[in-house]
Amino acid sequence: MVKTLATITALITGGASGIGKAIAQTLAANKVEVVISDINHTAGAQLAVELEGHFIPSDLCDPAAGRALVADASAICWGIDILINNAGMQYICAVEDFPEGQWARMIQLMLISPFSLIRAVWPHMKGRSWGRVVNIGSIHSHVASVNKSAYVSAKHGLLGLTKSAALEAGELGITVNAVCPAYVKTPLVESQIADQARTLGIDQSRVVEEVMLGSAAIKRLIDPTEVAELVAYLCSDKASAITGSAFDIDLGWVAR
């Protein structure tokens, strides 16, 4: 699937469940050595065993964690060739009530840590004249929703980071792209349903029908494997001419 090198290693943040897990499974099936990072030690370690990969626990809300994670992964695998910035969290709250510490924590996790990780893997990719960075954005990289100011800000910023890094990487053999899904059938999305219902004062069934799928042309949640297959393609040599792009898997959500 990917360039023929002695070893291809992928680091997937938030890799223990949901989209990250599906990406790890798909890349491993394509003979990529996977390093899974997550705050969930049990699930991450178990998946690493299943995929014959590696697990490194990391809390990327810590500003120093990104650099340490790449150093630890590189010590095991001699460098990271593919970086998947997937780790995320959600917090539903109006701007006027949003705790500043929580807001900053989310920006650290979903925008600052991807930058730190890209910067840390850059020398290895540059030295090999080959690398792939895929940032997992969101429909909220393009549009906004109420009560999601931190999430929307981080995902908008992540798209800007993707484009800027891609321009700098163009002559280095490194591509940088973003995948922007709508609501995916993951534990993170499932946990949002109750939060949204409480915040908006509606039934949980209405959250799915009106909030998550109301603007979609295709009325279903996305399966994580659908996102993983696109990510795998972007990591392949077939996608070597694609960089600085945002690929929407959004059921037609932002077509309006």
At residue 3, the pLDDT reads 46
- Answer with the residue of higher pLDDT: 185 or 61: 61
Distance CA 186, CA 21 (A): 10
How does residue 197 score in pLDDT terms, banded at 50, 70 and 90?
confident
Instruction: Indicate yes or no: pTM above 0.75.
Output: yes
In angstroms, the CA 120 to CA 71 distance is 8
- Going through 14-86 in order, the beta strands assigned E by DSSP cover 33-38, 54-57, 82-85
pLDDT for 169:
97
Q: Which of 148, 167, 128, 160 is nearest to 7 (CA)?
A: 128
Q: For position 102, what pLDDT does the model report?
A: 97
215-231 per-position pLDDT tens digit: 899 999 999 999 999 99
**pLDDT one-digit tens code per residue, 105-143:** 999 999 999 999 999 999 999 999 999 999 999 999 999
Taking a C-beta distance cutoff of 8 angstroms, is the pair 121, 83 a contact? Answer: yes
Count Cα neighbours of 228 within 13 Å in the Cβ-side half-sphere: 21
Mean pLDDT calculated for residue range 69-92: 95
Local confidence band at 196 (pLDDT 50, 70, 90 cut-offs):
confident
220: left (phi over 0), alpha (psi -120 to 50) or beta: beta
Domain boundaries defined on the chain: 9-182+223-249
pLDDT confidence band for 189 (50 / 70 / 90): confident
Confidence label for 251 from pLDDT (cuts 50, 70 and 90): very high
Cα 179 to Cα 93: distance, rounded to the nearest angstrom: 25
**Higher pLDDT pick, 113 / 256:** 113
Between 21 and 188, the more confident residue is 21
Q: Is the pLDDT of residue 2 over 60?
A: no
Q: Provide the mean pLDDT of the chain.
A: 93
Q: What is the pLDDT of residue 5?
A: 43
Cα gap 164→158, rounded to integer Å: 10
Distance from C-alpha of 248 to C-alpha of 219, rounded to nearest angstrom: 16
| Active centre residues (catalytic) | 151
How far is Cα 7 from Cα 121, in angstroms, rounded to an integer? 15
Neighbours of 87 (CB within 10 A): 25
Q: 172: exposed, middle or buried (C-beta count within 10 Å: 0-12, 13-18, 19+)?
A: middle
pLDDT tens per residue across span 93-104: 999 999 999 999
pLDDT band, very low/low/confident/very high, at 200 (cuts 50, 70, 90) = confident
Q: What are the counts of helices (DSSP H) followed by strands (DSSP E) for the chain? A: 9, 7
DSSP 210: I
- pLDDT at position 113 is 98
Q: How far apart are the first and last CA of the chain?
A: 35
Which residue shows structure tokens 């090999």? 128
**Binning pLDDT at 50, 70 and 90, where does residue 6 land?**
very low
Q: Which helix (H) or strand (E) holds 169?
A: helix 149-169
Rounded Cα gap, residues 161 and 119, in angstroms = 11
Chain segment 11-36, per-residue pLDDT in tens: 999 999 999 999 999 999 999 999 99
The fourth-level CATH superfamily of domain 9-182+223-249 is: NAD(P)-binding Rossmann-like Domain (3.40.50.720)
One-letter amino acid for residue 18 of the chain:
G
